[in-house]
Amino acid sequence: MFVRWSAAIAAVALLSSPALAQGAKPTDPQIAHIAYTAGVIDINAAKQAQKKAKNKDVKAFAEDMLRDHEAVNKQALALVKKLNVTPEDNDTSKALSKQASEKLAELDKLDGAAFDKAYVANEVAYHKAVNSALETQLIPSASNAELKSLLQTGLKIFQGHQQHAEHVAAELK
């Protein structure tokens, strides 16, 4: 419980970091960078889980995350190329990446059932945080219609992942 909440709170806090919270809307190049970074983070988490997870549902979940997030990021890359937009690194992306590498290190110390539980709990919390950022900040701030539409599809996928992760978490208990 503690792990899940602390991860959720940390992620939400980071996603509403000062750079974005002071009414300064993120620009499209920044939004693209944040969304892409959020995908890479979950891909890295899934790769770690593929190596460490023991439970077959957890392994299958990690494979689903890898496949979907790679597909979304492939679309994102194709879109920024088409729009001739260069994703721009920013404080939110940096904070997300930093927190994610800390999480990877923390999970790396766990094994077996303890790892499975912690990974899935973090997936629930992480998708919740990303979905909330998409809904309240990234989608409303996006000015390009195609970017907005990709983010909206992303939101539906990640809401699906959140529910899927919640099912897997419930099965582990």
Partner 1 sequence: MMPGRLSSIAMALVFAAMVVPAHAATIEITMENLVISPAEVSAKVGDTIAWINNDVFAHTATAKNGDFDVNLPAKKSGTFVLKKAGMVDYYCRYHPNMKATLKIEP
By C-beta, is 75 or 143 nearer to partner 1? 75
Other C-beta atoms within 10 Å of 136: how many? 12
The CA distances from residue 127 to 38, 149, 156, in Å, are 9, 19, 11
CA–CA gap between residue 139 and residue 141 (Å, rounded): 5
Give the shortest CB-152-to-partner 1 separation in angstroms.
Answer: 8
By C-beta, is 74 or 81 nearer to partner 1? 74
By C-beta, is 73 or 99 nearer to partner 1? 73
Secondary structure string (H, E, C) spanning 1-34: CHHHHHHHHHHHHHHCCHHHHCCCCCCHHHHHHH
Give the shortest CB-156-to-partner 1 separation in angstroms.
Answer: 4
109 half-sphere exposure, CB direction, 13 A CA radius: 5
By C-beta, is 48 or 152 nearer to partner 1? 152
Of 120, 137, 130, the C-alpha closest to 159 is 130
The CA distances from residue 116 to 7, 56, 92, in Å, are 16, 10, 28
Give the shortest CB-142-to-partner 1 separation in angstroms.
Answer: 16
Biggest CA-to-CA distance, the chain: 47
Give the shortest CB-162-to-partner 1 separation in angstroms.
Answer: 8
Give the interface with partner 1 as residue ranges (CB under 8 A). Answer: 64, 67-68, 71-72, 74-75, 153, 156-157, 159-161, 163-164, 167
By C-beta, is 86 or 153 nearer to partner 1? 153
Give the shortest CB-75-to-partner 1 separation in angstroms.
Answer: 7
